[in-house]
Amino acid sequence: MGYIVQSDEVIKNVTKELGNMLDSPMTQFLQLGAPVLMDYFNCSTYNSTTTPGTDTIDEVLGNNSPIRYHMIKDLPVYGALKSFLVDLTDNDGLYDMNMEIDDLTLLPSTVVPTPYDHLVYRFKDGSNERVFVFRVNAIKKATVKSHYFEQFSAKLQDIDSYGDVNQLEKQTVKRFRAKLNNFGTNIKCILEEEQYKYSEKIDEIINQLVEEYTDIFYSKKYNSLIFRGELEQGYISYDPWLTHFCITNKILVPRSDKQSQIVLVNIDDDDEYKKKYNRTIYHALETRKMDRFTQMLFVPTGFSKTVSNPFAYYGVDPACKIDIYVEDEIKYPRNIYTDFPFITSIVKNADENIRYGITENLIIRFFKEGTLLNHIDDSDIYSLENDIEMEHDAFTFRVIPMLIYVLSTLSEDIMRSYA
């Protein structure tokens, strides 16, 4: 089981989070039904030699067309498209080329439709691929609660002929991908093709690290991170400082469809706890500043007299809690918390070291640069994929979450840096 003292605060935070979810644009859009993923060709006003909606042109698609497109692959489109295979047929079961679908909807902050836009929908009909090409018609603004979004109609333009599809491809000047996991969040969800692939690679590495780490250290019985082997005595230990870092930064929330891990932290003295946490390497990593970092001492200890040990079960060795102290608060034992050479290098503002592995050197680089964006190359990616071996030791237990944090900020920086 997990354990927490401030239950009122937890209830308040959960209630607030649920309220935010219910009021979010994504939740409101779920009322529109399931979306259809389509290839969306959005007119690029920058690359086209005409302005959509203001000029009359002879040829929208063709070699002499002034229109150029940005193509967004797998863009979710809400509305009546789910049933259009039925709606588009006439009494003889043939597709009606005059059919127009109304009230199609795009999520806010994705794409602004124009009159020259096209949508391509592909699906399997037995062993054959069917292709439908629509062109955007009337466009209007609409709202769901306080959220503005774009709504439009689209007319069926072509069926199963790749002429229009091929011409759209010829007139495409830039390609994007919709990153579906980011829809409904504050993270950018439309990425350039190359950046999408880069982002997916980073997320795959994060997922793999999270999976291996939780396999080693996550205890379902205790619902927390447990290290079995602290110091020479081999204590079974619970580290509230590391656990707080993981909760706050959602370190153990995989970027895939796997179940999220939930860990709760015990706080005996909130003010004192925060003071100590703010002197750890974890807080330094969050702020990218080492000015408050102190190399603390630590001891495995029990829980307070007024709080029962949440990690004690009959017939099972209980876990102790890791507590940390500044040097003048304790004389014995002399156990240094996060006692790893690369942290000393960070304190001294030293460069990366060939003696360190990819984990330590990327964390050092992160402190020096403030981000890994534009500061990580293919050889680093290769090392992340092939050179990290997780062991049941103190280094893996306390440092791998730092690496996951650094890579997660890289993933988010990729989203923020591209329109």
Lowest mean pLDDT across 283-287, 349-353, 396-400: 349-353
Report yes or no: 141 and 148 within 8 Å, Cβ to Cβ.
yes
> What is the radius of gyration, based on Cα positions, of the chain?
27
Q: Reduce the DSSP state of residue 386 to 3 states and report it.
A: helix
Report yes or no: 343 and 280 within 8 Å, Cβ to Cβ.
no
Residue type, 326: V
Specify the pLDDT at position 8: 45
Pairing of strands 235-238, 227-230: antiparallel
Q: Which of the pair, 101 or 39, is modelled with greater confidence?
A: 39
Which segment, 4-18, 22-36, 216-230, 301-315, is predicted with the most confidence on average? 216-230
Q: Which two tokens stand for residue 204?
A: 């795959």
Specify the pLDDT at position 109: 73
Q: Which two tokens stand for residue 80?
A: 């009546």
Question: What 3 state SS string does 172-195 have?
Answer: EEEEEEECHHHCCCCCCCEEEHHH
To which residue do tokens 């902050």 refer? 109
pLDDT tens track for 211-228: 999 999 988 777 788 898
pTM given for the model:
0.73
Percent of the chain residues past pLDDT 90, beyond the cut: 35
Specify the pLDDT at position 79: 79
> Average model confidence (pLDDT) for the chain?
79
pLDDT tens track for 106-131: 887 788 898 899 999 987 766 778 88
Pairwise CA distance, residues 228 & 318, whole Å: 11
pLDDT tens track for 167-208: 999 999 999 998 887 776 667 788 888 888 888 899 999 999
Quick check: 14 pLDDT over 70? no
Pairing of strands 36-43, 118-125: antiparallel
Task: Write the DSSP string, 300-341.
Answer: EE---TTS--TT-BTTBPPPEEEEEE-GGG--S---BTT--H
pLDDT, mean of residues 146-152: 71
